Structure formats: structure tokens, C-alpha cells
Amino acid sequence: MSSEMWDERYSASELVWSSTPNQQVAEFASTLSPGSALDFGGGEGRNALWLAEQGWDATVLDFSQVGLDRAQQLAGSRLTPAQQARFHTLRADAASDSVSPKTFDLVIVAYLQLAADERRSAMRTAASAVREDGYLFVIAHDSANLLAGYGGPQDPTVLYTAADLADDVSDSGLHVIRADAVERTVDVQGVDRTAIDALLIARRPPVV
């Protein structure tokens, strides 16, 4: 989907995604001391808003200006002045723009469903932004979801696996800590359904 299509999607409703963070993101970030975080393809900023509330300096990168405006609007109404001062948005294309290298303690990529070439480029850029002793955390709709899970895009070309992600970042200098499929329970009109996500956690080694 182009940035114009995402702008239209965000314009069409008040909040496209939930206002709460992804559970896996929240669980992982809670194990870290707050530092600087980049929410890469962060949309309306649900993860970055939560991170700012937890004491992080949080930046949402997205190519949809409407999504970023929504994130800033939510920050204005939800965050304290001190948290707002640590909340930033950045309009950029995850697949073709570069970001400042080795800058963030935590780079999150959540449900950025791109075709393989674009995904590989985006994951490499996301990995490049992780500073020494920092982490890359990726969660996405897994290819297996199509046959065995619930929801997510139904186009197989934008789905991928944790093994794909590990391969994407294999030359990035990051060490893969975890790369596997995880289940997520989704409430569909009162009925629990299971979605399958691809999860990658990788770390740039500290300088010794």
C-alpha cells in the first residue's frame, strides 16, 4: 500500500489500531531500562505513546502524514508535558530512506507488511538504527497465519516468517536472540481466535 492509501485509511476512521501497545512489545520493553526508542512504521503511535509513558524518548517513523498527525494528536491529549517533550514523529519511507545509524536503544517494527524486497531493505535500515547494546524487536503477521491463524493480510507476498527476518538482518552486525512464531489471542465478537505472529529479537553487541 502506498502512503496515499494509508493516509486514506487513517482518515477514514478515528482510530484504526488499538490505543494500547502490542502485548509482546510491552512485555519485552518492560524488561529494559528506558532509553531512546524508534517505532519504525509506527502509524498512530500506539507503541511509542506507551513507551513515552514508561519514560522512553520515543520516535514514530511512518510515511503516512495522517497517521503521524494522529499520533501527535494522541500525544497532546494523553501524555504529560514532560512525556510530550520526549515524543517525536518523523515522516520517512521505511523501505527507501535511511535513518541515523546506531542511534536507538530499541527499534520496534510492528506489523510492517511489505513485499520481500522492500521488507529486506526496511529491516536492514531498522537494524542499522540500533545502537551498541540495543535491540531490534520485530513482530508481524506470520506466513503461517494464512492457513492456520486468524486475521492479518491475506496476500501471501506481504507475509513472512521469523526465519525471513533473521535472514534479512544477517549482515547487520546484530545477534539474533529469538526468531520464532508466537500465538496471539484475538477477541472476535466474543469468540477467542488465534493469530500467528513472526517474532524477531536481535541485539547489537556492546562495545568492549
Name which of 30 and 208 has its Cβ closer to ligand SAM: 30
Task: Count CB neighbours of 86 within 10 A.
Answer: 21
Q: Whole-number minimum distance, CB 6 to ligand SAM, in Å?
A: 4
Interface residues toward ligand SAM, by CB under 6 A:
6, 17, 22, 41-43, 46, 62-64, 67, 93-95, 110-112, 114
Burial of 31 (0-12, 13-18, 19+ CB in 10 A): exposed
Angle formed at CA 20 by CA 16 and CA 23, multiple of 5 degrees: 115
Distances (CA, A) of 120 to 57, 76, 94, 117: 26, 34, 10, 5
Say if strands 175-188 and 191-203 run parallel, antiparallel, or are unpaired: antiparallel
Name which of 17 and 150 has its Cβ closer to ligand SAM: 17
Name which of 132 and 154 has its Cβ closer to ligand SAM: 154
Cα 164 to Cα 138: distance, rounded to the nearest angstrom: 11
Q: Whole-number minimum distance, CB 205 to ligand SAM, in Å?
A: 26
Whose CB is nearest to ligand SAM?
A: 43
Name which of 50 and 105 has its Cβ closer to ligand SAM: 50
Q: Whole-number minimum distance, CB 41 to ligand SAM, in Å?
A: 4
Q: Whole-number minimum distance, CB 13 to ligand SAM, in Å?
A: 13
